[in-house]
Structure 1
């Protein structure tokens, strides 16, 4: 197997990331467009973490920290690269980032009916928190 490289995304990576999510991520979001991802990387250049193997994008995670809470989004691994420790490496990088920034608790946005993801998150030590339900509203200017 090729060596795994984990690094922060750069603006040059964004088109590849958007194309990758169409293949590797379950579902899409209103912010899955060039403008949305550019804003993320411009605001927090270390938030979008990529995993590469053999020079090819194999996985992503967004590790957002607002100064108070740590949020994980878009953990995705390409179907051809699953079950090789890529998600674990991405989560380790995200959690290390949170600790460096002073974060104390991480939460993840996970689709309710994505059973495969639920198993992966549980294996990484995350648990569903039934007490809280997320409510979301798309924001438009």
Structure 2
């Protein structure tokens, strides 16, 4: 957990699930196949420290998933409430995520960023990330 002035960064708990899902509907671009209660609960069971929340004055200001599988450091769902943007929330979340990765032995973070989300591109670039044009993401939905 980190405290920066009035911004507090902490790991989510199962009690936060509904709050996070509601927040993502307001603040996140696009949806994921795992954006449901069961998907986020599985994430927290598998990696309890992976979903980082930024809170300001008791309100949810931002989120990021900082998952580490022992090989790669993956960043997903960087989302900041529209009223909290350009106030250091994304920077604080990414700093906390990168500190987590470093402590776990991670060597490089990679981020999933929607191609059409130009404001996100600016935020990621400002944080020191850049696209790798030689790679593309291949996916296959799995039947559950």
Q: What range is the shorter-chain TM-score in?
A: over 0.9
How many residue pairs are counted as aligned between the two chains?
Answer: 140
Structure 2 Cα separation of the partners of residues 79 and 12 of structure 1 = 23
Structure 2 equivalent of residue 56 of structure 1:
59
Match of 1:27 among 24, 27, 30: 30
Structure 2 equivalent of residue 66 of structure 1:
69
**Structure 2 residue 106 is the aligned partner of structure 1 residue 103:** yes
Q: CA deviation at 1:94?
A: 0.2
Structure 1 unpaired stretches of 5+:
none
Match of 1:113 among 116, 120, 123: 116
Structure 2 equivalent of residue 13 of structure 1:
16
Structure 2 counterpart SS, 1:27: coil
TM-score (norm 2): 0.96
Q: CA deviation at 1:138?
A: 1.4
Structure 2 counterpart SS, 1:41: helix
Structure 2 unpaired stretches of 5+:
none
* RMSD over aligned Cα atoms: 0.7
TM-score (norm 1): 0.98
Structure 1 counterpart SS, 2:33: coil
Q: Which runs of 4+ in 1 moved over 6 A?
A: none
Structure 2 counterpart SS, 1:36: helix
Structure 2 Cα separation of the partners of residues 28 and 139 of structure 1 = 16
Structure 1 Cα separation of the partners of residues 141 and 99 of structure 2 = 30
Q: CA deviation at 1:97?
A: 0.2
Match of 1:92 among 91, 95, 100: 95
Structure 2 counterpart SS, 1:37: helix
